[in-house]
Amino acid sequence: MRPTFIGLETMRRALQAHQKALDVTGHNIANAATPGYTRQQVELSATRPYTPPGIVRLARPGQIGTGVEAARVRRVFDGFIENRIRLAKSALGRWDQLKAAIEEVDATFNDPSDVGLGDAFSRFWNAWQELSKRPDSLAARAVLIEEADGFCAILNRASKRLNDLILDLESSLSAKVDEVNSLSREIAELNGEIAKIKITGNEPNDLMDKRDIAIARLAELVNISTFEEKDGSINVQIGGVDLVRRNNAHGIELKPGSTLASSTVVWEKDGASVNITAGEIAGIIEARDQVVPKYLGRLDEIAGKVIEKVNGLHDDGYGLDDLGPTPPGRIFFDGTNAGNIKVSDELKADPRKIAAAESPGAPGDGAVAKKIAELKDELTMGGGTLTFTGYYSETITILGNEGQTAERMSDIEKLALQQHTNRKESFSGVSVDEELANMMKYQHAYDAAARMVTTIDEMLDTIINRTGIVGR
């Protein structure tokens, strides 16, 4: 092969290689603002020189280079940074769900405020105190019924909202499980496509970006670990069990529990529990099974103890028209917990029957009403260590502390995620300025190669058409 012809082949390769580099540069610029896009880079490498080494070869010094080729187009990707981002997203997903649930509980209690349970508690005890001073006053009795009714209504409303929140969390859990299954199927399908393309020696960079986006969303939902196979497939596991293995997806589902909102997440293939420790699903389960029930339980404890103590004293008292000789045994509250507590229909129909007196036929006796009013300051809650007000205040304090913890942890994970994302962007993101510089570099190289082709063409023209012609 003559050097001139080697030169033409060299320039042809140069034109092709730099055209490819310009194509990739253009692709990067076009996707500079595309979420999840990873910058691509052409790896240019020198081709094998002429002549090949050997005992029998042309007698000329050295070897002649044969140009350049675009060896591969690779993603500028760092698996370590990507893994840190996924871990941060899983942690953030859990704390965000807990934070949202605690905010809903806080809105339910609505304290401190003029319309919260704490204020209703105070008005309820004050109404008993006023009745003890004016036990024969029908107005004081009507006020007590009204305040007690409002107290019950707030407890009923709070209980209903917390129970509804548990049902909402169950519904959200079901939707998240469906999303996990949808993402796992998408990842498995992309694994299959990527493996087929890899076999041909090509790099399916855009499909790998698409798969990474799906895996990133999956990491927000649940704790995952990933492992890459030689064929380019990525296996995804939850708690050491395969969710995706090459092009096969293994689904998860909800197994109903003994109550309406107590389902558990299990594997479809064998019904075994899924070991979920992070992500939005973990936060939802924790909120549904622990956070919300804890505050609902404390509400029920308050309501139950109020019912027990008030009814215990009221049962031994007398109304305005009760003449004895034994107490009529009326209860003030019906129900057993915050969800069903209410003022007795009998007393609402006739407030004169409120047992404010300790003795029959004594309209001015308010001894029982006074004892009930004094329940406000008795150590009846927390194993005999707290008053009703103290126990409720403790509940609000615990709720506030948990809310602050969830918000603080959410902020910490957001900061960590932002730091990892910034590292990824600086390494894998598209810098338009850098791409424009590359564009100029590849353009100049392309132009120079084209100029070389023109020069070689002129040399060939001289040899072919002008050699031996004299005088022209």
Query: What phi, psi does 320 have (nearest 5°)?
Result: -65, -35
pLDDT in tens, 67-93: 899 999 999 999 999 999 999 999 999
Judged by average pLDDT, the poorest of 264-273, 428-437, 458-467 is: 458-467
pLDDT mean over 95-117:
88
pLDDT at 261: 86
Nearest in space to 380 (alpha carbons), one of 308, 317, 311:
308
pLDDT mean over 150-165:
95
pLDDT mean over 23-35:
95
pLDDT at 1: 43
Q: Which residues contact 390 (CB under 8 A, 6 or more apart)?
A: 381, 382
pLDDT in tens, 384-434: 999 999 999 999 999 999 999 999 999 999 999 999 999 999 999 999 999
Q: Which residues contact 27 (CB under 8 A, 6 or more apart)?
A: 40
pLDDT at 295 over 80: yes
In 265-356, where does DSSP find H-type helix?
279-286, 292-314, 345-349
What's the token pair of residue 441?
Answer: 């570099």
Residue with tokens 């300051």: 377
- Measured CA to CA, the distance from residue 240 to residue 258 in angstroms comes to 28
User: Residue 368: helix, strand or coil by DSSP?
Assistant: helix
pLDDT in tens, 368-391: 999 999 999 999 999 999 999 999
Q: Which residue has the higher pLDDT, 368 or 2?
A: 368
In 200-291, where does DSSP find H-type helix?
205-221, 279-286
Q: Which residue has the higher pLDDT, 110 or 451?
A: 451
- The string over 34-69, giving b where at least 16 C-beta atoms fall within 10 Å of a residue's C-beta and e elsewhere, is eeebbbbbbebeeeeebeeeeeeeeeeeeeeebbbb
pLDDT at 324: 77
pLDDT at 302 over 90: yes
pLDDT at 53: 61
pLDDT mean over 309-320:
95
Query: What phi, psi does 242 have (nearest 5°)?
Result: -65, 125
pLDDT mean over 101-114:
87
pLDDT at 334: 95
pLDDT in tens, 322-342: 887 899 999 999 999 999 999
Which pairs with CB-CB distance under 8 Å and at least 24 residues apart come from 194-201?
Answer: 194/231, 194/232, 194/233, 195/229, 195/231, 195/232, 195/233, 195/246, 195/247, 197/232, 198/231, 198/232, 199/231
Please state, for a pLDDT cut of 90, what percent of the chain lies above it. 81
